[in-house]
């Protein structure tokens, strides 16, 4: 009993580009099933081949890579609507691991059908490139953050980015949004130690700029937070959903 694409709850959100009838039909045929996993499940392992591609229907997770010595870098946070496994799909093996932070429902596609998509649906192929390019652009921003911003700037940047992504998905309620990650996840995403991340969050809390506790992020002073984050305002565009 899986969700049909035409009833997909994500489609209704206005952060995604509308589907044409034809795209809808194709995507429905492309979809091979659904996967529901518990919190903590590893969906994809770095270096492994996976037969599937996924679109996240609900739930949140992280992409990460691990160094031999155990240090972990969170590549980014995965939210509903994100497409997972494109790298593994085209390059053979996954470049990073993916883990569910909350229970998650994923829409699955067969890797072997990917070629059919390129052959018959140039529009969808274009969307894939768009997604890949846009992921790349985001990674570039993360690299700037980790490479050039200091602690307070990094943490502010991350909270703001996460809040905005959640907000565009319609998951925010005013200036509050659910954020079920651990401080360790954010620390690993920013290249900071857990302790330092914790203390930096404490600064934001005591200055009444942002508060994050019990899985909820609360933006108290967006202006100041943006100031700390050294963020250039950027326009939001609708993105394709696969």
Partner DNA sequence: CGCCCACTTGAGGAATGTCAATCTCCGTGG
Partner DNA sequence: CCACGGAGATTGACATTCCTCAAGTGGGCG
Kindly state the smallest distance separating residue 135's Cβ from DNA, in Å.
Answer: 25
Minimum separation from the CB atom of position 239 to a copy of itself (A):
10
For position 143 contacting a copy of itself by CB under 8 A, the verdict is yes
Residues binding a copy of itself: number (CB under 8 A): 47
In the complex, minimum distance from the CB of residue 29 to a copy of itself, in angstroms, rounded to a whole number: 17
Nearer to DNA, 35 or 152 (CB): 152
Please state, in angstroms and as integers, the Cα–Cα distance from residue 78 to each residue in 57, 104, 184, following that order: 11, 11, 16
Residue 98's SS3 state is strand
Q: Please provide residue 32's backbone torsions phi and psi, each rounded to the nearest 5 degrees.
A: -110, -10
Burial pattern 218-228, b for ≥16 Cβ within 10 A else e, equals bbeeeebbbeb
Compute how many other C-beta atoms are within 10 angstroms of the C-beta atom of residue 213: 10
What the block records as the tokens of 71 is: 């240090």
| Residue 236 binding target from DNA, a copy of itself, none, CB below 5 to 8 Å by type | none
Strands laid side by side in the 72-78 sheet: 42-44, 97-100, 61-66, 72-78
Q: Which is nearer to a copy of itself, 130 or 171 (CB)?
A: 130
Q: What is d(CA 145, CA 84) in angstroms, rounded to the nearest whole number? A: 23
Q: Residue 216 Cβ, how far from a copy of itself at the closest point, in Å?
A: 26
Binding site for DNA (CB under 7 A): 150-152, 182-184, 191-199, 201-202, 213
Check binding of 224 to a copy of itself (CB under 8 A).
no
144 alpha-carbon distance from chain centroid: 18
164 binds a copy of itself (CB under 8 A): no
Query: How many helices (H) does the chain have, and how many strands (E)?
Result: 8, 11
Hey, which residues between 79 and 138 contact a copy of itself (CB under 8 A)? Answer: 86-87, 89-91, 95-96, 115, 118-119, 122-123, 125-126, 128-130, 132-137
Binding residues for a copy of itself, rule: CB under 8 A, are 65, 67-69, 71-73, 75, 86-87, 89-91, 95-96, 115, 118-119, 122-123, 125-126, 128-130, 132-137, 139-144, 146-149, 188-191, 230, 232
């Amino acid at each position: 009993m899986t969700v049909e694409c035409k009833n997909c709850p994500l489609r209704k959100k206005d952060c995604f580009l509308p589907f044409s009838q034809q795209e809808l039909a194709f995507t429905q045929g492309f979809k091979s099933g659904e996967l529901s996993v518990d919190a903590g499940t590893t969906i994809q392992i770095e270096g492994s081949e996976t037969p599937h591609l996924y679109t996240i229907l609900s739930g949140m997770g992280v992409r990460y890579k691990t160094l031999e010595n155990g240090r972990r870098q969170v590549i980014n946070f995965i939210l509903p609507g994100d497409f997972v496994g494109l790298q593994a799909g085209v390059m053979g093996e996954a470049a990073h691991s993916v883990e569910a932070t909350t229970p998650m429902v994923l829409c699955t596609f067969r890797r072997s059908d990917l070629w059919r998509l390129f052959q018959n649906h140039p529009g969808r192929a274009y969307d894939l490139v768009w997604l890949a390019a846009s992921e790349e652009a985001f990674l570039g921003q993360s690299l700037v953050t980790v490479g050039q911003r200091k602690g307070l700037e990094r943490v502010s940047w991350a909270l703001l980015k996460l809040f905005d992504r959640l907000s565009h998905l319609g998951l925010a309620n005013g200036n509050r949004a659910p954020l079920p990650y651990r401080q360790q996840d954010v620390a690993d995403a920013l290249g900071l130690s857990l302790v330092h991340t914790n203390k930096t969050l404490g600064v934001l809390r005591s200055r009444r700029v942002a508060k994050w506790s019990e899985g909820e992020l609360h933006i108290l002073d967006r202006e100041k937070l943006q100031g700390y984050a050294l963020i250039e305002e950027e326009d939001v565009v609708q993105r394709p959903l696969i």
